[in-house]
Copies of this chain bind each other. A is one copy, B any other.
Amino acid sequence: MNIVKNKLNQAGIKPTYQRLVIMDYLEQCGSHPTVDGIYENLVIKVPTISRTTVYNTLNLLTAESLVHAVTITGTEVHYGIGRADHHHFLCVQCGRILDIEVNCPLATQVPGDYLGHQILEVHGYFRGICSDCLNKNKR
Contacts and interface: CB of A to CB of B under 8 A. Distances in A.
Contacts of A11: none
Contacts of A47: none
A128 B117 contact: yes
A25 interface: no
A130 B121 CA distance: 13
B120 A134 contact: no
Identical chains bound together, number? 2
Interface string A7-44: 00000000000000000000000000000000000000
A123 to B, nearest CB: 4
A114 B126 contact: yes
B134 A114 contact: no
Given A71-B72, A74-B77, A129 B102 contact: no
Interface of A: 69, 71-74, 77, 89, 91-92, 98, 100, 102-106, 111, 114-131, 134
The 10 closest A-B CB pairs, nearest first, are A116-B131, A71-B74, A123-B125, A119-B128, A121-B127, A120-B128, A118-B129, A104-B104, A118-B128, A117-B130
